[in-house]
Amino acid sequence: MRLNVLIDEVLRAMAESAAKRGGPVPAVTPAELAARVRAVLDEAGGALPDSGTGPLEAVSAITSLLVYGSADPADPACAAHLHCPPLPEAVAADLAVSALNPSLDSWDQAPAAVTLERELVTALAGLTRFDPGRASGTVTTGGSESNLMGLMLARDRAPAGRRRVFCSQGAHFSIQRAAALLGLDGVEPIATDATHRMDPASLAAALTGCERAGDVPVAVVATAGTTDTGAVDPLAEIADVASAHGVWLHVDAAHGGGALLSDRLAPLVRGIERADSVGIDLHKFGWVPAAAGVFLVRDAGAMAGLETRAAYLNPADDVAEGYDGLLGQSLRTTRRADCAKILVVLRSLGRRGLGELVDRCHDLALRAADLIVADPELELVAPPVLSTVVFRYRDGDEVNAALRRRLLRQGRAVVGRTELDGRVCLKLTLLNPETDVASLLSAVVMAGREESR
Ligand SMILES: Cc1ncc(COP(=O)(O)O)c(C=O)c1O
């Protein structure tokens, strides 16, 4: 069957099923939705039927189910996670990547995509204010993989001993996971100030203590845009401390890397150019469908340890003639050309256009904070830095938790949840410039009243 017929069916099923959902999420319980999913699969004989139903029915059934049962990040009442509504040009370009299936590990599977990714990395290194002639990097699946790569490169240059990593209490859990995977001997949480930023004096004291104990400080991880509050650690001061101790500095800018696109917010990430490695996710601020992470190193030599020779992928004589892929840039072998959809967005909007979207999300967060402060039934817990607002309905933890589930069950709103200082909080993570923050907050207040009764 021709691809265009199937694409027409996807678009039709998307429109029909989004209308059936009628809101940011379907108004069902998790058990009801799971039963519906199983029923649709059972209509065809299960997830792996003996005989297939054919392409049109399969595309129609699975797409309809997926779309009906989605949390739609483009809906103005969906604002829970760092989960952006992708731009249509990125989605469209990604179709060609799926159809041609280029794999970046060897030149003969992805002749143009290999250069597209190299150019993307150079451009983003320039945005980060690394020297693009010295820097290097790779497209990753996102912040978790970028954090793993940053810590791996740091580990590989560290001397033997008890090897420890330092990051703020607000750092993403993938740092812990990466350290465990890499056989490191622990991650030390550094105290934060009242605005949830890492305290450089506490970092310096911890590094000195580590050295006095005869241990090896492997890496400092600073966060530009924490998951919970969007706090940006003081990067320049942290770079001073890391360099005074000769320790690798990785900046997890999965979210806050977007500030580099905005003239207004770029000063927040001053000092990022002094990092040894940086991770930025274009599937957060970037409006590219996941996965669209980018890992950068200030000095290309740091990635030399990843170089791999495989007779079937990059024999030396092919490489000498220019037939070289990107095997030596990544931990993965088969690797999708996620660079294409990112480059489409960068070309379509340019840095200025993307910066305007970042600014609009930041403005929305400021407006949401003003509305929260003005509403006696709400309490602002963490004012916005980037585009995250943390707040509470003025009642106990149980009411805050229950009102969020009520909104999901009713299909009315998707609001985030976290815990700060031991209290359950609600969170708006604003990556959609079209989010209706006033209606979202009044839905929260109404659900809070209903749950408090
Ligand atoms: C600060 C930070 N780092 C890393 C990650 C992990 O990113 P990913 O889910 O793309 O692996 C997240 C996810 O939200 C994040 O907020």
Residues 60-93: pLDDT tens digits?
A: 999 999 999 999 999 999 999 999 999 999 999 9
pLDDT single digits (tens) 163-200: 999 999 999 999 999 999 999 999 999 999 999 999 99
Q: Is the CB of 143 under 6 A from ligand 1?
A: yes
Gap from CA of 143 to ligand 1 centroid (Å):
4
Q: Is the CB of 257 under 6 A from ligand 1?
A: no
CATH classification for the domain delimited by 350-452, as one of 3.40.50.10950, 3.50.50.60, 1.10.3720.10, 3.90.1150.10: 3.90.1150.10
Q: Average of pLDDT values for 11-33?
A: 98
E strands of 27-92, at which residues? Answer: 78-79
Residue located nearest, by CA, to atom 4 of ligand 1: 143
What distance in Å separates the CA atoms of residue 311 and residue 299, rounded to the nearest whole number? 27
Gap from CA of 223 to ligand 1 centroid (Å):
10
Q: According to the model, what pLDDT value does residue 169 have? A: 95
Q: According to the model, what pLDDT value does residue 1 have? A: 77
pLDDT band at 212 (very low <50, low <70, confident <90, very high): very high
Q: Is the CB of 252 under 6 A from ligand 1?
A: yes
Instruction: Tell me which of 167, 235, 252 to substitute to probe ligand 1's pocket, judged by most ligand atoms within 8 Å of the beta carbon.
Output: 252
Q: What are phi and psi of 232, to 5 degrees?
A: -115, 115
Gap from CA of 172 to ligand 1 centroid (Å):
7
Residue located nearest, by CA, to atom 15 of ligand 1: 227
Gap from CA of 254 to ligand 1 centroid (Å):
6
Task: Map 106-137 to HEC letters.
Answer: CHHHCHHHHHHHHHHHHHHHHHCCCCCCCCEE
Gap from CA of 144 to ligand 1 centroid (Å):
6
Q: Average of pLDDT values for 131-154?
A: 98
- CA 107 to chain CA centroid, nearest Å: 28
What distance in Å separates the CA atoms of residue 63 and residue 289, rounded to the nearest whole number? 17
Tell which phi-psi region holds residue 183, choosing left (phi > 0), alpha (psi between -120 and 50) or beta: left
What distance in Å separates the CA atoms of residue 11 and residue 213, rounded to the nearest whole number? 62
Q: Is the CB of 172 under 6 A from ligand 1?
A: yes
Q: Is the CB of 451 under 6 A from ligand 1?
A: no
The answer to whether residue 321 scores a pLDDT higher than 80 is yes
Q: According to the model, what pLDDT value does residue 269 have? A: 98
Handedness of CA 43, 45, 46, 51 (dihedral sign): negative
Instruction: Tell me which of 139, 168, 174 to substitute to probe ligand 1's pocket, judged by most ligand atoms within 8 Å of the beta carbon.
Output: 174
Helix, strand or coil, per DSSP, at residue 1? coil
Token pair belonging to 53 = 């139903």
Q: Which atom of ligand 1 is nearest to the CA of 225?
A: 1
Gap from CA of 36 to ligand 1 centroid (Å):
31
Token pair belonging to 185 = 């001997």
Gap from CA of 53 to ligand 1 centroid (Å):
38
User: Percentage of the chain surpassing pLDDT 90?
Assistant: 100
Longest Cα–Cα distance of the chain, Å, equals 75
Q: Average of pLDDT values for 404-418?
A: 98
The answer to whether residue 215 scores a pLDDT higher than 90 is yes
Q: According to the model, what pLDDT value does residue 305 have? A: 95
Q: According to the model, what pLDDT value does residue 263 have? A: 97
Q: Is the CB of 144 under 6 A from ligand 1?
A: yes
Q: Is the CB of 83 under 6 A from ligand 1?
A: no
Gap from CA of 386 to ligand 1 centroid (Å):
15
Q: Is the CB of 106 under 6 A from ligand 1?
A: no
Q: Is the CB of 138 under 6 A from ligand 1?
A: no
Q: Which atom of ligand 1 is nearest to the CA of 147?
A: 4
What distance in Å separates the CA atoms of residue 237 and residue 340, rounded to the nearest whole number? 36
Q: Which atom of ligand 1 is nearest to the CA of 281?
A: 10
Gap from CA of 123 to ligand 1 centroid (Å):
22
Q: According to the model, what pLDDT value does residue 288 have? A: 98
Q: According to the model, what pLDDT value does residue 423 have? A: 98
Which residues lie across from 393 on neighbouring strands?
378
CB atoms < 10 A from the CB of 239, how many?
22
Fold of 94-348: Aspartate Aminotransferase; domain 2 (3.40.640)
Q: What are phi and psi of 237, to 5 degrees?
A: -65, -40
Residues in the chain: 453
Q: Average of pLDDT values for 99-115?
A: 98
Half-sphere exposure of 31 (CA within 13 A, CB side): 0
Domain boundaries, the chain: 3-69, 94-348, 350-452
Contact of 167 with 202, CB cutoff 8 Å: no
Q: Is the CB of 255 under 6 A from ligand 1?
A: yes
Gap from CA of 329 to ligand 1 centroid (Å):
21
Q: Average of pLDDT values for 206-225?
A: 98
Gap from CA of 371 to ligand 1 centroid (Å):
28
What distance in Å separates the CA atoms of residue 297 and residue 204, rounded to the nearest whole number? 23
Gap from CA of 265 to ligand 1 centroid (Å):
20
Q: Average of pLDDT values for 233-243?
A: 98
Gap from CA of 278 to ligand 1 centroid (Å):
13
Instruction: Tell me which of 83, 144, 181 to substitute to probe ligand 1's pocket, judged by most ligand atoms within 8 Å of the beta carbon.
Output: 144
